[in-house]
Amino acid sequence: MEGNAPQPQRIPESFEVLTPKGAEFGFADLLIQWMKSDTIDAVIRVPGLPDWPFQAMMPTSPRHLLPTFRSAVQRNLALRSAFPPDFDRIGPPPPEHPRLPRGIQRLRKRFGPQDTWQVARLESDPFQSGPSRIVELFPAPGTLRADPFPLRWTDQDWILFEDMIPGDRGRLRAARREGDTWVVVPGEILPRPHHLSWPSTLEIDGKLHLLPESGESGEVAIWECVEFPAKWRKRAVLLEGRPWHDPIFLRQGDLWWLFVSAGGGYEQDHSAELHAFWTRDPLREPLRAHSLNPLSVSVAGSRPAGRPFRHQDSWILPTQDCRAGYGTGMFLLRLDELTPTTWLQTIVGRISPPKGKSGIHTLNHLPGYGWIVDVT
């Protein structure tokens, strides 16, 4: 990445943290929230500035409450400080969060409560209110299958998705449509030593490219297809230095827009910053940050949930609604104005999980087939 070295962001010396009702925020309040909710809700009060509400994801362990809370507060305070919005001055990487020993992490993931995400076809209108209606496509009990990205390639319909066995890392796999059924292709695509998910695809210069989430590696990279679906070569590193989540491109006129959610420094401190970057050529020119980054600092609508799509002559960006916990719903954001210096959006729909399910967090369309989602 070219440019000057990142500059530290100035954090106000004096601030208060309040509950949304205005009372002083103490550890007891935080512990109660941890027992009742998946999010931290608070208000930051800085002398000379308006009160500023914010949310962050709750950690999974009580001993991470204060570090996670401190990380979220400092991150949000830093965003209110005056600093140039240039791409090469977005601030230093967050500190590494303390981790449990690897063996304990594996035991907790394997024997603790597990998500059971599976890929499904959405039978209801995504703009219709109320519980969704779905049909699961290729369920695998005991395995997490999420982040489905369908595409038409080599004259066939495919779905690329994340596949993960509890206690292991996420891997990318592919399923091929054969008549009315979907067949999962053996093996993984783009094998890497770290977690991968979110296998979004796009065409550039007539060639297929892959833009997966690799937040664990601290970068957003774009890969060109050599032999579909298993062989890819890295073409460019677009972002570095933070745990970036769920990157997605939108092409509007002669500009390519990258939307991505930036994570914080502690476990589960994610999904609360929506950033946008733009370029005229994602393979050959550097990204430039939107002047209003971050566009959102709430767990309500700050993490992409699928490809942008056209609806009634407007662009719609699916985003996650994590107010009731990670992956519990989606917003449909209509992009009313998007330029390098302006950003206006309107929520035009909310997608809820089907009856008997607790989560739904990816939405993509396969022409001639319908909407593809994941549910748990």
- Of the listed ranges 20-24, 109-113, 178-182, 227-231, the least confidently predicted one is 109-113
Instruction: Write the pLDDT tens digit of every residue in 79-106.
Output: 555 333 332 222 333 333 344 454 554 4
How high is the pLDDT of residue 109? 47
Q: Which residues in the chain are classed under CATH 2.115.10.20?
A: 106-375
**228 or 110: which leads in pLDDT:** 228
Of residues 109 and 338, which shows the higher confidence score? 338
pLDDT of residue 358: 92
Q: How confident is the model at residue 282 (pLDDT cuts 50, 70, 90)?
A: very high
Question: 239 and 219 in contact (C-beta within 8 Å)?
Answer: yes
Lowest mean pLDDT segment, chosen from 91-100, 144-153, 276-285: 91-100
What percentage of the chain exceeds 70 in pLDDT? 80
Give the chain's radius of gyration (CA, Å): 20
Residue 324 has pLDDT above 90, yes or no: no
Protein fold of 106-375: Tachylectin-2; Chain A (2.115.10)
> Sign of the CA dihedral 141, 145, 149, 152?
negative
CA distance linking residue 349 with residue 123, whole number of Å:
16
pTM (whole model) above 0.85: no
Q: Which pLDDT score is estimated for 13?
A: 62
List the structure tokens of 66.
């204060």
Task: Specify the pLDDT at position 48.
Answer: 72
The answer on pLDDT for 69 being more than 60 is: yes
DSSP state of 24: B
Q: What confidence tens digit (pLDDT) does each residue in 104-131 have?
A: 544 544 554 456 899 999 999 999 989 9
pLDDT of residue 25: 74
Instruction: Kindly report the average pLDDT of the chain as a whole number.
Output: 83
Q: Answer whether 22's CB lies under 8 Å from 43's CB.
A: yes
Least trusted range by pLDDT, from 25-29, 196-200, 203-207, 353-357: 25-29
